A and B are shown apart, each in its own frame.
Chain A
Amino acid sequence: MSKYHVSTTINGDPVEYLCEPEQTLLDVLRDELYLTGSKEGCASGDCGACSVLVDDRLVCACLALGAEMGGKKIETIEGMADGDELHPLQQKFLEHAALQCGICTPGFLVAAKSLLDRNPDPTEEETRYWLAGNLCRCTGYDKIIRAVLDTAAEMRSGK
């Protein structure tokens, strides 16, 4: 079976890869490019641990095919910090202890960033519904929601 050759952009860098037709974007990120920050929790789009942005749209990388990504702009958790400076969401997750085991954290951060890019002043309810596609089994969501709302408030105040 021949592989597809794909040229794309990941976290701002031009990337080329070969993939089998059945490989998902998540398979490609993890197994071909060793970008293992995106996690596989279900492979069926139910847990959100593989959340990435494709052309600014929040998607589960396990539900997109690697072969479809030609010419797209992909953003993963590995591109979220700016050099050695954490994104405000990453910083607030640490300060609020919004993670325990940490397996869902990359997906939550990518999804939360996507929320704040669209809506800089979400209500608690809007935040809970936006993040309803990301499962966390450790925290009960309390500290995650607080971290996102606190980040939004801080970013609005321009600190």
Chain B
Amino acid sequence: MSQALKLDDDEQDLKYVGTRPVRPDGVDKVTGRAKFGADLHLPGMLTGQVLRSPHPHARIVSIDTSKAEALAGVKAVITRDDFQDMESEFVPAGEMMVNYRDVVRNVMAREKVLYEGHAVAAVAATSNSIARKALRLIDVEYEVLPHVIDAVAAMAPDAPLLHDDMMTEGVDPKPDTPSNVSKRVEFALGDVEKGFAEADVIVEREFNTKPVHQGYIEPHACVASMSEDGQADLWCSTQGHYVVRTHCARLLNLDVSKIRVTASEIGGGFGGKTVVYLEPLALALSQKTGHPVKMVMSRDDVFRATGPTSGANVWVKMGATKDGRITAAEAVLKYQAGAFQGSPVQPGCMCAFAPYDLENVKTVGYDVVTNRPKVAAYRAPGGPISEYATESVVDELAKMLGIDPVDFRLRNAAREGTHAAYGPKFGPIGLVETLEQAKAHEHYNTPLKPGQGRGIASGFWFNIGGETCVTLNINEDGSATLMAGTPDIGGSRASLALMTAERLGIEPEKVRPLIADTSSLGYNFLTGGSRATFSSGMAAVEAADEAIKEMCARAAKIWEIPEDAVVWEDGHAKPAGDNAGKFDPLSLADIADMAGKTGGPIGGAARINAKGAAPSFGTHMVDLEVDEETGRVTILRYTVLQDAGRAVHPSYVEGQYQGGAVQGIGWALNEEYIYGEDGRMQNPGFLDYRIPVASDVPMIDTVIVEVPNPRHPYGVRGVGETPIVPPMAAIANAMENATGIRFTELPMSPPKVLKAIEDRDGG
């Protein structure tokens, strides 16, 4: 069941924004017609496959590819020798940064392999079976080195070093000996010591979380085709085809204009498809062979070699007065980055206490390299980990003080004007509304049965804007084509069509939204940070306004009146001012039909750096019960309340809320990377890395709160990331209420829950 809470009905009279039409790409996706990464076949296409390291840490002594190259059907083998080394240079990748020196080493190991699954060589062959055989013929001599998997262990002075030149940034004086800590970050406001001195109660806890994978159902896949003159076409499943183009151009030393990247339909990303893995290899193999090369990861490859998000160790201390006011909050976060620096510890620090209006806050973060795959963004990267810890402590404080957990949060909630601990002052935000709605919700007021527990937690994510281009063409029959450059992961074409139709005043079915290739439209930053509907929507509205201005000018020309004497209303140009009523309105279709005679084709374009992204806050509520004999947790009921700013297509907003909640349920209860003593992952498949299935979860109720973002033409905030932030704490808080046990480790899987119950009962 879903409810929408409208807070601003008087503000805009909207005809299409807020409705639920069938999405433009829907029929293709229910008939199997939609083409995803692995669905493209080209004549003469070869298969590319990757040889991966069996060791978590080893020096590569030598690589002998001669036997593989001699095998009939093998067209090329590539290794580290096929890629030039790169200088250290940081560039944005999603909400995180990557360093080209690391990127070139991550796509193909150079001096060392740094994790099990690290790419060492790749082959292109005429069939899968020949490619597999060729991989077995490549001789790699390794000098195996000691490895370290855990972040805290990697910070020990005697830990095996991954990078001999890693001197911790952000400490003064800068160390002169290397370590596995790439940087220290700190965010502080006020004086925490003073704040703790004012507190009547203080809670201090240490939490541990495991790396979890984005778990997109579509493995990474691409097809590359490069001609002899170095012009390349690349088809791939990605959240950012322009970013792929940039990276590939750099790694292969090609002009950006030489590479045209087409984003296939993308079978889930959640942040994980913001970086390159196969794409530079496929291009290099195509360059070497003169054939198109297709590369597709196995699920095993996806787990072992692509980014999960960090596992972490988080220490939190918070204090509050008897009347429920938080006086100080402090946290230390140690995040695993995987083999190369760049965990989301910085956003983790910034999110940690963002839902609260606090005077005294301090967060310190450490970015720690370990012998695991390099982490990639995963939905609100960094936030779910730190907010799991802080929202657990908030709940504990409320309980110690005997205050209802919603009331306690309301008493301390961030509001418009709150100075966030990480810097800015919040504009209009909807946290209080989600809490008030939670408290009034029938779910919160329904009694529980014995043995059941209810938990609540709030969450925050920034949301981002960024570089965005769209082109809008008004077609000769009065329909319109919108080309956007942010790959559509979860229905953004639907929302873009709705906003464009709203602005133009034509029916949404008349607007065909497409994701353009990188050569057909200017640069777009990737789909991430919940920016696609926000930024491309803003650009689409700007492009529509340009087209409207031109259509008004054409009408003025036809009527022989000044351009500024024409207004656009409800899809029609109308004479205004002194000329009002003198001419019959001209519809968009009328003007489009006459475009050839009035000045040529009509359209609009926008090239913007979208500003004004606004955070989205949410509050989750969960009921659960624990089987005390097996440790199994059953989620009985779940409600998500979140501020969308405005829900352009409410069904897909609900879908984001529901999907995020269920990913969070998996993170809380089941999902984890399990490593053996040998540093090898033991559960690289969906049987053993168990994501939630349909029978694990109930319906997920949603409440869409709408506190419009004043800096977006339709009030959009972006909704995709926040829903994964609250679930882990909400579930941990419910577990505490059900069992009396405060769980401080994720996942709360049956063996751990059972052991905690036995410990509680003195067994």
Residues of A within 8 A of B (CB): 1, 20, 22, 27, 30-31, 34-44, 46-47, 49, 76-78, 80-81, 86, 90, 93-97, 99-106, 109, 125, 127-129, 131-146
A144, closest chain B residue (CB): B694
Do residues A137 and B217 form an inter-chain contact, with CB atoms below 8 A? yes
- Contact A90 to B31, CB < 8 A, known contacts A101-B218, A103-B36, A136-B217: yes
- Complex: A139 Cα to B32 Cα, angstroms: 18
Query: A36 touches which one: B27, B32, B298, B655 (CB < 8 A)?
Result: B32
Q: Mark B691-734, 1 if CB is under 8 A from A, else 0.
A: 11111110110000000000000000000000000000000000
10 residue pairs of the A-B complex, CB under 8 angstroms, read: A20-B129, A40-B219, A86-B27, A94-B23, A97-B652, A100-B491, A100-B652, A129-B695, A134-B694, A143-B651
Query: Which A residues are in CB contact (< 8 Å) with B695?
Result: 125, 128-129, 131-132
- CB-CB < 8 A to B225: which residues of A? none
Select the stretch in B327-335, B514-522, B658-666 that faces chain A.
B658-666
**Interface flag for B268 (CB, 8 Å):** yes
Which of A78, A104, A137, A145 has the most C-beta atoms of chain B within 10 angstroms of its own C-beta? A137
B contact set with A: CB distance below 8 Å: 20, 22-23, 25-27, 29-36, 38-39, 41, 127-129, 214-219, 265-270, 296, 298-299, 489-491, 649, 651-652, 654-656, 658-663, 685-687, 691-697, 699-700
Q: Which residue of B lies closest to A106 (CB)?
A: B32
Contact B685 A44 (CB under 8 A): yes
A41 with B299, Cβ < 8 A, contacts A46-B687, A86-B27, A137-B216 known:
yes
Q: Are B699 and A145 in contact (CB under 8 A)?
A: yes
Complex Cα gap A74–B22 (Å): 30
State which of B217, B265, B490 has its C-beta within 8 Å of the C-beta of A135: B217
The number of inter-chain residue pairs (CB within 8 angstroms) is: 189
Among candidates A80, A102, A143, A146, residue contacting B29 with C-beta atoms closer than 8 Å: A102
Q: Which residue of B lies closest to A97 (CB)?
A: B651
Which of chain B's residues have a CB closer than 8 A to the CB of A133? 693
Residues in B neighbouring A143, C-beta threshold 8 A? 651, 654-655, 658
The answer on a CB contact under 8 Å between A104 and B652 is no
Least CB separation from B656: chain A residue: A100
With a cutoff of 8 Å between Cβ atoms, the chain B residues found around residue A76 in the complex are: 32
- How many Å lie between the Cα of A7 and that of B23 in the bound state? 38
Closest to A90 in B: B30
Contact B22 A95 (CB under 8 A): yes
> Is A42 a contact of B662 with CB atoms below 8 Å?
no
Find the A residue at minimum CB distance from B268.
Answer: A101
Do the beta carbons of B217 and A22 come within 8 Å of each other?
Answer: no
Please report the C-alpha to C-alpha distance between residue A123 and residue B101 in the assembled complex, in whole angstroms.
55
Chain A residues within 8 Å of B128, by CB: 27
Residues of A near B26 (CB, < 8 A) are 93-94, 99
The 8 Å CB contact of B694, one of A1, A47, A86, A131, is A131
The smallest beta-carbon distance between B72 and chain A, in angstroms, is: 12
Q: How far is the CB of B670 from chain A (nearest CB, A)?
A: 13
CB pair A42–B685 under 8 Å, yes or no, is yes
A128 touches B31 (CB 8 A): no
Chain B residues closer than 8 Å to A134, beta-carbon distance: 693-694
Residues of A within 8 A of B30 (CB): 86, 90, 93-94, 99, 102, 105-106, 109
Cα separation A138 to B33 with both chains bound (whole Å): 20
A138 & B685 in contact (Cβ 8 Å cutoff):
no
Q: Which of A38, A46, A103 neighbours the largest number of chain B CB atoms within 10 Å of its CB? A: A103
| Alpha-carbon distance between A41 and B685 when the two chains are bound, in angstroms | 10
Contact of A81 among B31, B692, B694 (CB under 8 A): B31
| Secondary structure class of chain A's binding surface, majority of residues | loop
Name the A residues within 8 Å of B489 (CB-CB): 100-101
- 9 closest A-B pairs by beta carbon, nearest first, are A37-B32, A103-B267, A102-B29, A140-B662, A97-B651, A140-B658, A46-B686, A77-B32, A100-B490
Chain B residues contacting A78 (CB-CB under 8 Å) are 31-32
Contacts A86-B31, A140-B659 given: A43-B694 contact, CB under 8 Å? no
Q: Given the interface contacts A102-B265, A135-B686, does A140 sit within 8 Å of B697 by beta carbon?
A: yes
B17 to chain A, nearest CB (A): 16
**Which residues of chain A come closer than 8 Å to B652, judged between CB atoms?**
97, 100
A131-B694, A141-B697, A144-B694 known; A101+B32 contact, CB < 8 A: no
Chain B residues with Cβ below 8 Å from A37 are 31-33
Measured in the bound complex, the distance between the Cα atoms of B78 and A54 in whole Å is 41
Known contacts A41-B219, A42-B686, A103-B268; is-contact A138 B655 (Cβ 8 Å):
yes
Minimum CB–CB distance for A48 against chain B, Å: 9
Is A94 touching B218 in the complex (CB atoms < 8 A)? Answer: no
Q: Which of these, B34, B129, B299, B692, contacts A102 with CB under 8 Å? A: B34
Residue of B nearest to A124 (CB): B699
| Given A36-B32, A46-B299, A132-B693, 20 additional A-B pairs, CB 8 A | A30-B38, A38-B32, A78-B32, A81-B31, A97-B491, A100-B652, A101-B217, A101-B265, A101-B269, A101-B490, A102-B29, A102-B34, A135-B217, A135-B691, A137-B215, A137-B216, A139-B655, A139-B659, A139-B662, A141-B693
Pick from A44, A77, A102: contact of B686, CB under 8 Å:
A44
Q: How far is the CA of A131 from the CA of B697 in the complex (A)?
A: 12
Cβ contact within 8 Å between B659 and A137:
yes
- Give the distance in Å from the alpha carbon of A83 to the alpha carbon of B219 in the complex: 31
Shortest distance between the CB of B684 and any CB in chain A (Å): 10
- Please pick, from A80, A132, A144, the residue contacting B31 in the complex, using a CB distance under 8 A: A80
CA gap between A144 and B36 in the complex, in Å: 21
Q: How far is the CA of A78 from the CA of B694 in the complex (A)?
A: 24
